[in-house]
Structure formats: C-alpha cells, structure tokens
C-alpha cells in the first residue's frame, strides 16, 4: 500500500512539475508576444483602438501572475525545500494578489469597452460610446492603482513557511503562511465580485446584441450563403470566449479553495493544483487573443480583436 502511495505521489508531482514548466514557459512567451503586438501601434503612432491599451496592461499582469505563482512552486516541486524567506513571501504574495486583481479588472474593462462599441448608433448612445473609448486607457491604469491600494495590507499578514504541522505534506511546511481574514479581505472579495458581476453583465448584453444582429442579417446569410460580420462583432466573439475561459478556471479554483477551508485539508497536491488553476487563465488567454486575431480575417469564425 505504501509503495502504491509513493508511486501515485511521484506521478502526481511529475504531472504538476510539467504543467508548471509549460505554464511559465508557454504562457510568458505568449503574453510577451501579445504585449508587443498591442504596444507597437501605440509606440509607432499608428491608428489604434482602445483594446490595444487594455490588452497591453493585461499582458503585463498575466506575466506577473505566472512568475509570482509559478516560480515559488517550481522551487518547491524541484528543490524540495522551503523556497522563500519571510520577506520573499511578502513580496511574491503581494505581487501575485495585485497582478490577479489587475487581470480581473482589465478583463472587466475589456468586456465593458467592447459592449459599448456594439451599441447601435443611436444619438443618445453616441456620447457614451465615445467616452468609453477615451476612458479605456485611464481605466487600465486605474486598475493597477486600485489593486496596489486594495492589497497594501497583505505584506503585514504574510509570514514565511512555518512547520506548524506534523505531516510533511501540509501547507505550513511548504507554503507562505497567511493570517486570518479581516475586513480588508472581505472588502477585496466584494470588489472581485463587483468586477465579475460587471463582466457578466457586459458579456450577457453583448450576447443579446449579437443575437439581435444575427436576426437582422439572417436574410443576407440566406441569400449569399455566408455573411461577413463587422470587426466589432468578431472582437465581441473573442472577448466572450475570454470571459467564458476565465469563468471556468475561476469556478474550478474557487471549488478547490472552498474544499480546503471547509475540510481543513491543506495537502501539498491540493495547494499545487489550485495554483495551477490560478495560472491557467493568464496562460490560455493570450493564445485565445492571438489565434483569433489574424490580420486578414475571412469570416466570423476567424474573429479579430483590436484591428
């Protein structure tokens, strides 16, 4: 029985180690490409859309999430010793929380901005659409400021790894120790819920607008055999895929966190799996944006974003 447990543990560690390497390597590379792809029109003075600025900020936040989440766990998985000091825990955990919050906020800004570009050109909506486009960049910067201030208390609650348990497979031995939830923690949860709610609202509104648009052009689809959708519509398809991807990984990670805290089960593989789920969206999202952003799309199934 002990032999089978050792084999299972070794296999599980090998799988997690491979996923860590793939996430950090492939995810960081994709985000770097996404960063330069969207910042180049800004630096070269070419025509740009508001999404260029938002995606630039999102790529930076994604890279920070991958590095702060992956590197400490890579050290734990490969070196098999406490990877961080108390100061290292404070810095890494703080940067991780700030970057995760900024990614969530940027996704919200991206989804909301794209929703306003789909609003029909009625006079009462034109002013709101123009203002939404102008505020995309400042909103992205505000996401960073908001996240930095929101989690400014985190370093005070984080300490270095502490061997508080007898088991060699528990949280205290391998990971940074966090204090109990306080008012700031609940306020941060409320802000996350607000961003998620606004993202769901804008995404649902986009689905409704796209459905109405599809009904209006159905006669073109019937007559010509296909229809060429607008760039705004193709971009909305991409953002909807992004939001669905985020929701899937967010729910899965939340289920793991709830299970660990309800049953007080902080085994190493649960913590590592939860961390893999945290890094999944920053890894997958740039691929979604890049592969659905060809420069010369031919149909709606090859949607574009930001061109």
Angle between helices 86-118 and 123-134 (to 10 degrees): 150
pLDDT score, position 302: 32
Contacts of 292 (CB under 8 A, 6+ apart): 237, 238, 241, 302, 303, 304, 305
Write the CB contacts of 255 (distance below 8 Å, at least 6 apart in sequence). none
Cβ atoms < 10 Å from Cβ of 31: 27
Question: Looking at residues 169-187, what average pLDDT do you find?
Answer: 60
Rounded to an integer, what distance in angstroms lies between the CA atom of residue 62 and that of residue 65? 5
* Residue 192, domain member (yes or no): yes
Please report, for residues 79, 172, 258, the alpha-carbon distance to residue 165 in angstroms, rounded to integers and kept in the order given: 20, 7, 21
Note whether residue 53 is domain-resident.
Answer: yes
Residue whose tokens read 């961003």 = 195
Does pLDDT of 304 surpass 50? no
Domain that holds residue 197: 2-291
**Residue 66 pLDDT > 80:** yes
Look at residue 177 and give its three-state secondary structure: strand
In a domain, 19, yes or no: yes
With beta carbons less than 8 A apart as the criterion, state whether 296 and 45 touch: no
Q: Report which secondary-structure segment, H or E, holds 178.
A: strand 177-178
The answer to whether position 301 is within a domain reads: no
157 versus 2: which is more confidently predicted? Answer: 157
**How far apart (Å, rounded) are the C-alpha atoms in residues 298 and 247?**
29
Q: How far is CA 70 from the centre of its chain?
A: 14
Q: Where residue 59 falls among pLDDT bands split at 50, 70, 90?
A: very high
- The whole-number pLDDT of residue 101 equals 93
- CATH number of the domain to which 219 belongs: 1.20.1070.10
Does any domain span residue 139? yes
Say how many domains are in the chain: 1
**The pLDDT of residue 55:** 92
Q: Residue 265, Cβ neighbours under 10 Å: how many?
A: 12
Q: Which residues contact 116 (CB under 8 A, 6 or more apart)?
A: 128, 129, 132, 133
The CA distance from 19 to 160, in Å, is 25
CB 16 within 8 A of CB 276: yes
Within a domain: residue 304? no
Identify the helix (H) or strand (E) that includes residue 163.
Answer: none
Q: Is residue 296 assigned to a domain?
A: no
**Residue 303, domain member (yes or no):** no
Total-model pTM:
0.82
Pairwise pLDDT comparison (168 vs 38), residue with the higher score: 38
What's the 3-state SS for 223-258? HHCCCCCCHHHHHHHHHHHHHHHHHHHHHHHHHHHH
- What average pLDDT does the structure give for the chain? 76
pLDDT at site 123? 56
Q: Which residues are bridge partners to 177 per DSSP? A: 159
Which segment of 11-15, 46-50, 87-91, 297-301 scores lowest on mean pLDDT?
297-301
Q: In the prediction, which pLDDT does 129 show?
A: 62
């Amino acid at each position: 029985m002990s032999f089978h447990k050792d084999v299972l543990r070794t296999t599980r560690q090998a799988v997690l180690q491979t996923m860590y390497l793939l996430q950090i390597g492939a995810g960081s590379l994709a985000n770097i490409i996404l960063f330069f792809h969207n910042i180049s029109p800004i630096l070269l003075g070419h025509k740009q859309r508001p999404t260029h600025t938002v995606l630039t900020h999102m790529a930076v936040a994604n890279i920070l999430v991958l590095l702060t989440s992956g590197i400490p766990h890579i050290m734990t998985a490969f070196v098999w010793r406490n990877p961080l000091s108390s100061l290292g825990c404070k810095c890494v955990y703080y940067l991780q929380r700030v970057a995760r919050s900024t990614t969530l906020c940027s996704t919200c800004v991206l989804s909301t901005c794209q929703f306003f570009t789909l609003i029909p050109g009625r006079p009462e909506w034109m002013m709101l659409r123009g203002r939404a486009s102008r505020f995309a960049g400042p909103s992205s910067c505000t996401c960073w400021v908001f996240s930095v201030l929101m989690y400014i208390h985190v370093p005070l609650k984080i300490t270095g790894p502490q061997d508080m348990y007898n088991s060699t497979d528990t949280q205290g031995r391998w990971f940074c120790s966090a204090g109990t939830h306080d008012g700031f923690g609940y306020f941060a949860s409320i802000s996350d819920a607000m961003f998620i709610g606004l993202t769901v609202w804008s995404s649902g509104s986009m689905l409704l607008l796209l459905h109405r648009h599809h009904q209006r052009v159905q006669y073109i689809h019937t007559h010509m055999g296909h229809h060429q959708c607008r760039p705004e519509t193709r971009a909305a398809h991409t953002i909807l895929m992004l939001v669905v991807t985020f929701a899937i990984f967010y729910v899965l990670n939340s289920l793991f966190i709830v299970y660990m805290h309800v049953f007080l089960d902080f085994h190493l593989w649960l913590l590592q799996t939860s961390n893999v789920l945290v890094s999944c969206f920053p890894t997958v999202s740039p691929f979604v944006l890049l592969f659905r952003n060809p420069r010369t799309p031919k149909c709606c199934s090859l949607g574009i974003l930001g061109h």
